Amino acid sequence: MKQFIYLLSSLFIIILASCSTPADYAEDIMEKASDMEKQTVKITEALSKKDIEAAEKALAECQKNSEETLKELQAMEPYDEKDELRKSVIEFVDFYNNIYKNEYRQAFDIVKKGNYTKEDVDSITTILLSVSSEEEFVKDDLISSFKKFCKEYELIISSRD
């Protein structure tokens, strides 16, 4: 009997999950992308206060969150067999995951040592410009996929100010 109840409960959950609307799906998946940008602000705020310890903590938290979000996105099913939006969000989150591990780590190593040389400043500038240009590319792809998904399902994009 317990197995039967467990089976019914599992089926009910699967049915509920598959009944989500395109709007719910789009909102959920785009919220995950938005979280990456919000998390990065924590790092920037700590750095602007010259609080390297808080920035290091924020970077570690951002990296952990991006890895968890990637796992969640990879486990998600495409909506109605259409997977462009989910793949774009995965690429976007993966971009942030990689910069947290690589470019931001390199910049932090330079910042932590203090007494910057001209080469240090040039290195940080190069890192930031590289991240910024690639971010623009993945963000444009994400926005394009989002707009396409909304158009396909006749969703209206609005702001939550």
Q: Are 55 and 46 in contact (CB under 8 A)?
A: yes
Residue 158 located in a structural domain:
no
- Which residue range is the domain that position 121 belongs to? 22-152
Express as a percent the part of the chain with pLDDT over 90.
Answer: 53
Query: What pLDDT, on the 0 to 100 scale, is given for residue 75?
Result: 94
Residue 75 located in a structural domain:
yes
Q: Which secondary-structure segment (H or E) carries 6?
A: helix 2-18
Q: Are 79 and 85 in contact (CB under 8 A)?
A: yes
Query: What pLDDT, on the 0 to 100 scale, is given for residue 12?
Result: 39
34 to each of 67, 107, 116, 121, 149, how far by Cα in Å? 15, 23, 33, 29, 17
Residue 135 located in a structural domain:
yes
Residue 79, φ and ψ in degrees, nearest 5? -85, 125
Sign of the alpha-carbon dihedral angle for 157, 158, 160, 161: positive
Residue 72 located in a structural domain:
yes
Residue 7 located in a structural domain:
no
Residue 146 located in a structural domain:
yes
Residue 135 confidence (pLDDT) above 80: yes
Residue 107 confidence (pLDDT) above 90: no
Q: How many domains does the chain have?
A: 1
Q: Please report which confidence band the pLDDT of residue 118 belongs to, taking 50, 70 and 90 as the band edges.
A: very high
Stretch 114-131: mean pLDDT: 89
DSSP secondary structure letter of residue 154: T
Query: What pLDDT, on the 0 to 100 scale, is given for residue 40?
Result: 87
